[in-house]
A and B are shown apart, each in its own frame.
Chain A
């Protein structure tokens, strides 16, 4: 799969983080801790076993 496509999908989510949030209230959101929670589906279980690095970018 095209990496640009994957990043594009994620960036679009950021760009669209302007919508109204129904009933928004102060909550404690999850923090990254190096673990991967998604393991139920076979592909997720497979990728969760792969040792990974993380990159983080802001795209204004």
Chain B
């Protein structure tokens, strides 16, 4: 997985924002290397991450696959049928939508990489590197830091410490992250 970002998709309002998204849905957009990860892999994770028989409460907050092309649409429909069979449901009982993505609009900067907002020093450093909000949202480094720090370094701190030098962060920031990870490990959180 290369990067993730939050945004609005599936609707037809030209310039959605958080406070005016029209009929768009809040979504996550995931860029992945198809040589490493398949769309089917992501679908499996998606199906396991929500209750597919739960009625969608609104267009804004909706469980849905937003397909980018016919291949993705067919894969999503196939995986939905397989899921329904596994769970003893009729396909029509699966409430999760399968809809065309349309335009994807990046959510506001303060919605991106949310966990990093708890780490002002890191967020500030990345904002200094990437002054453009889109660039920060597109950053693999920010995506990975957000995931590691958001999880509280629970299981992957060793991998994190191995990866950290590859990020190319300023030495002081790198050391501060190393220290933060080490403290979490020591505290046993």
Question: Which residues on A are within 8 Å of B, measured CB to CB?
Answer: 1-14, 16-17, 19, 21, 24, 26-32, 36-44, 47-48, 50-60
* Closest A-B pairs by Cβ, 6 of them: A9-B147, A42-B168, A10-B4, A13-B114, A37-B135, A60-B61
Q: A9-B150, A21-B18, A55-B72 are in contact. Are A43 and B166 (CB under 8 A)?
A: yes
CA distance A28 to B133 in the complex (A): 12
B132 lies within 8 A of chain A by Cβ: yes
B170: min CB distance to chain A, Å: 10
Contact of B33 among A36, A43, A50 (CB under 8 A): A50
Q: Looking across the interface, which residue of chain B has its beta carbon closest to that of A19?
A: B110
| Interface residue total, chain B, C-beta cutoff 8 A | 87
14 further A-B contacts with Cβ under 8 Å, apart from A1-B159, A9-B151, are: A6-B1, A6-B144, A9-B147, A10-B4, A10-B5, A11-B49, A13-B112, A14-B28, A17-B26, A28-B15, A37-B132, A54-B31, A57-B65, A57-B66
B41 lies within 8 A of chain A by Cβ: yes
Proximity bits, B143-157, A CB within 8 Å = 1, else 0:
110111011000110
CA distance A7 to B105 in the complex (A): 18
